[in-house]
Structure 1
Amino acid sequence: MPRVLLLSRQPLATRPLQEWLDDTADNIVLVTTPKAVAGAEDLLAESFPRHRLVSDYHAWAVGQAAEEAAREHGVDLIASTSESDVLRAARLRVRLGLPGQGTHSATAYRDKVVMKQLARAAGIRVPAFAAIDDPLDLLDFIDAEGFPLVVKPRFGAGAEGVAILRTMQDVTAFLGRQRESDVPYLPGQWMAESFVHGDFFHVDGIMRDGRIVHAWPAQYSGGLAERVRDHTQVSSVLLAPDDERTAVLQRMAAEVIAVLPAAPLPLAFHLEAWIGVDAVPVMCEIASRAGGALVADVYERAFGIHLAREGLRAQCGADLALTHQPVAPDPAAGWVLLPPGHGSFAPPAEPCPVPGAELNLLLKAGAQRQGVQHAVDAAATALVHAGTAEEVRKRMAGLMEWWRTSAEWR
Structure 2
Amino acid sequence: MPRVLLFSRQPLTSRPLQEWLDETADSVVLITTPKAVAEAEEILATHFPRHRLVEDYHSWATEQAAEEAAREHGAELVASTSESDVLRAARLRARLGAPGQSVESATAYRDKLVMKRTARAAGLRVPSFAAVEGPMDLLDFIDAEGFPVVIKPRTGAAAQGVSILRSPADVTAFLEGGRESAVSHVPGQWMVESFARGDLFHVDGIMRDGRIVHSWPCEYTGGLAERVIDGAPLGSVLLERDDARTEVLRQFAADVVAALPAAPDPLAFHLEAWIDPDGEPVMCEIASRAGGALIAEVYERAFGVQLAKEGLRAQCGSDLTLDHQPAAPAGLLGWLLLPAGHGTFVPPAESCPVPGVELEVKLAAGTRRDGVEHATDAAAEALVHAGTAEEVRKRMAEVTKWWHANTAWQ
Instruction: Please state which band the TM-score falls in when normalised by the shorter chain.
Output: over 0.9
Preserved CA contact (<8 Å) 1:267 1:288 = yes
Paired position in structure 2 for 1:161: 161
Paired position in structure 1 for 2:129: 129
Displacement, 1:24? Answer: 5.0
Paired position in structure 2 for 1:69: 69
- Distance in 2 (CA, whole Å) between partners of 1:26 and 1:147 is 54
TM-score (structure 1 length as normaliser): 0.98
Paired position in structure 2 for 1:205: 205
- Structure 1 range deviating more: 337-346 or 189-198: 337-346
- Structure 1 position 32 matched with structure 2 position 21: no
Paired position in structure 2 for 1:386: 386
- Distance in 2 (CA, whole Å) between partners of 1:222 and 1:112 is 21
Displacement, 1:143? Answer: 1.4
AA aligned opposite 1:92? L
Per-residue CA deviations over 1:362-407 (Å, capped at 9, x if unaligned) read: 1122222222122111110000112221221121111111112122
Per-residue CA deviations over 1:313-365 (Å, capped at 9, x if unaligned) read: 00000000001111111111100001112222222222111111000011122
Preserved CA contact (<8 Å) 1:148 1:194 = yes
AA aligned opposite 1:50? R
Preserved CA contact (<8 Å) 1:37 1:44 = yes
SS, match of residue 179 in structure 2: helix
Q: Which runs of structure 2 are paired with 1:3-402 in the superposition (5 Å)?
A: 3-23=3-23, 26-402=26-402
- Distance in 2 (CA, whole Å) between partners of 1:246 and 1:26 is 40
Segments of 4+ moved more than 2 angstroms: 22-26
Where structure 2 has 5 or more consecutive residues not aligned to the other structure, the ranges are none
- Distance in 2 (CA, whole Å) between partners of 1:56 and 1:406 is 39
- Distance in 2 (CA, whole Å) between partners of 1:356 and 1:247 is 27
Preserved CA contact (<8 Å) 2:235 2:337 = yes
Preserved CA contact (<8 Å) 1:25 1:49 = no
Displacement, 1:129? Answer: 0.3
Root mean square deviation of aligned Cα: 1.0
Preserved CA contact (<8 Å) 1:207 1:268 = yes
Paired position in structure 2 for 1:409: 409
Preserved CA contact (<8 Å) 2:268 2:290 = yes
Preserved CA contact (<8 Å) 2:24 2:316 = no
Preserved CA contact (<8 Å) 1:208 1:266 = yes
- Distance in 2 (CA, whole Å) between partners of 1:50 and 1:398 is 48
SS, match of residue 130 in structure 1: strand
Preserved CA contact (<8 Å) 2:17 2:25 = no
AA aligned opposite 1:288? S
AA aligned opposite 2:83? E
AA aligned opposite 1:86? V
Per-residue CA deviations over 1:79-129 (Å, capped at 9, x if unaligned) read: 000101101000111111111000010000001011101111111000000
TM-score (structure 2 length as normaliser): 0.98
Displacement, 1:22? Answer: 2.4
SS, match of residue 36 in structure 2: helix
AA aligned opposite 2:382? A
Preserved CA contact (<8 Å) 1:202 1:218 = yes
Percent of residue pairs bearing the same amino acid type: 71
Displacement, 1:271? Answer: 0.4
- Distance in 1 (CA, whole Å) between partners of 2:141 and 2:270 is 28
Preserved CA contact (<8 Å) 1:24 1:47 = no
- Distance in 1 (CA, whole Å) between partners of 2:119 and 2:368 is 44
